[in-house]
Chains A and B, each alone.
Chain A
Amino acid sequence: MSSATLSNTAIKQPNKLVLWFRYLRRNPSLTFGLLILLFLVIFTVYGLLTIDPKDAYPLAVRSKQPPSLEYPLGTDFFGRDLYAAMVVGMWQTAVIGIVAGALGTIIGTILGFISAYFGGFIDTAVTSICQILIPIPAFLIQVVIAGSIDKRSVTIFTMAFVVLLLAWMGPTLVIRAQVLSMKERQFVSVAKLSGMTSLGIIFKEILPNLLPFIAAAFIAQVFQAVFASFYLAIVGLGPVREPLLGNTIWAAQTQGAFFNGWWWWPIGPAVAMILILGSLALINMGMDELANPRIRKSE
């Protein structure tokens, strides 16, 4: 029986870059998020290269100046150049976000993995702790922790630490769920049958499939970290001297910026923060769409 003689003109697949661009066009969330983030990164890098960081701290320049050519974002009550403050603040926010986000993801991944893979008592313990801590608003615990630390010893890194302490639960549960479902799936049993060692299975079979979830968890964690540190700063629990964006807004409000007519003081950081959180949220949503084929739109 002869097989079908179909003209098999191989369909020419466009190269990877073009496929990527087409995908970005269908996923406006991811695209916009990345674009805004790119803009912020360029802004910060350029800023860091051009300003004098000392200007971001009190008593550096003339105070209470509205925006002008010399001080593009004006100056505040304490004599900071708000443009310099914004640049340094963004950099610091990025540090907190990435450090706390990365550490939170790593801890969460390891914990979630161990919990799911080995099961038993460890699993019950870890999940119970997560379940009991989750209803407690993380922000409040962070307030307690941050409030107990001597205000003078609060630094960027203590903030990152405080944020981290409550960040690991999310990734733990997500990764655990994924590993659990993978454990049951056939490709793991097949690997076991073919004699792969436990470690081999972990690294060669499970981990590659976890990567998209870990990546998504990382973005979500960075977002959470930036969000949490912002909230702490805005209630006045941040390292007050540092020009963190949340700190600036807090300082502005406590000095009654709007009532005194110094509108430029809280607006700059507010807009910057909106862009940062907005872009992270968009990227987060875009990643969701990437990972969940059901919501994915087709061309």
Chain B
Amino acid sequence: MNPVLKVVDLEVSYYTDAGRAKALDRVNLELHAGEKLGLVGESGSGKSTMALAMMRMIKPPGRIEHGKVMVGDIDLMKLSEDEMLDARLSEIAYIPQGAMNSLNPVTRIGSQMTDAIKAHQPRMPKAQMKERAIHALESVELKPDVFRMYAHELSGGMKQRVCIAIGILLEPKVIIADEPTSALDVVTQRQVMETINNIQETIGAAIILIGHDMGLMAQSMDKVAVMYAGRLVEVSKVREMFTDPKHPYSQALIRSLPKLDVKGVFQGIPGLAPSLLRLPSGCHFHPRCQERMDHCDSVRPENQVLASGRRVTCHLYDEEAKEAKQVPA
């Protein structure tokens, strides 16, 4: 089956006063319909940039230098401005982080939903648009009353769910949820996560959930992708990631998670994430890597596929990847 989302060699740079920062460095990603991918990484690793790039919402001084983003059969990068406007929300939808301010304060919720429908299907009769919107609200467990309300009359959790409802209005193939629960309390978090799972089941979209709460990822996701300094260093199924992480950085991440049954000193990761303006040569992680080899500081590791289908960007697995390629599929 063909993947519903295929990101190929995506590169994004930011041209700042202080120089050129490479926010995304040849990122490759694949997702099938119905799959849930958790995208994790430190602040500044490139997670949000990835989301924005996929939506083609990178603004100056940032620039998408290179790459393809295929949703279904369409390469989003090749679309015209108008075609892209159309694709947003209908093919690929983005649910923002911290919905606190993402809703227009002076118009009603309903009109903010119908204007999205109208932008994509201008000929739909108003009544039908309203029906769709209310249906979406109900899917996220909000009452139809919300349609007539204003943003300030809703709680944080409700606002987030409205944003999710807007995201599913046109039944897109891919939904990107950018830290949808970061600003919420635990109870609401669970509700929102359940909502996301539910709607994903109903419309069968592929979901990318960006965040840094590993626990949340473990509970709900199918796969986990780890980003570091603009590169995708590992993509594994969720079980594999937690039990047998391959990349040294993923290993350090998993190791740093507090375990209920083991008491002890927290294990952090020594060193600091590098500034995107002054990236280390070769493998970006080599200054902090405990298993660094000689050529890690000069040769750039490629994003390789391993036998199990997992992807790692690390020299440790160069041999394994070569073997995997030689084995006939």
Contacts and interface: CB of A to CB of B under 8 A. Distances in A.
Contacts of A140: none
A251 to B, nearest CB: 52
A2 B287 CA distance: 7
Given A1-B271, A1-B290, A299 B278 contact: no
Of listed A1, A2, A299, residue having the most chain B CB within 10 A: A1
A22 to B, nearest CB: 11
Interface in A1-59: 1-6
A298 B17 contact: yes
A134 B256 CA distance: 60
B273 to A, nearest CB: 11
Contacts of B288: 1
A3 B289 CA distance: 10
A96 B17 CA distance: 43
A3 B271 contact: yes
A1 B270 CA distance: 8
Contacts of A299: 17
Contacts of A5: 287, 297
A274 B270 CA distance: 63
Contacts, number: 19
B21 to A, nearest CB: 14
Interface string A152-189: 00000000000000000000000000000000000000
Contacts of A1: 270-271, 288, 290
B274 interface: yes
A196 B270 CA distance: 38
A3 B17 contact: no
B62 interface: no
Interface in B283-297: 287-288, 290, 297
B3 interface: no
B17 A4 contact: no
B290 A6 contact: no
B138 to A, nearest CB: 40
B271 A6 contact: no
B270 A6 contact: no
Contacts of B280: 4, 6
Contacts of B290: 1
Interface string B281-311: 0000001101000000100000000000000
19 contacts: A1-B270, A1-B271, A1-B288, A1-B290, A2-B287, A3-B271, A3-B287, A4-B271, A4-B274, A4-B280, A4-B287, A5-B287, A5-B297, A6-B278, A6-B280, A298-B16, A298-B17, A298-B61, A299-B17
Given A5-B297, A298-B16, 6 more contacts: A1-B288, A3-B271, A4-B271, A4-B274, A6-B278, A6-B280
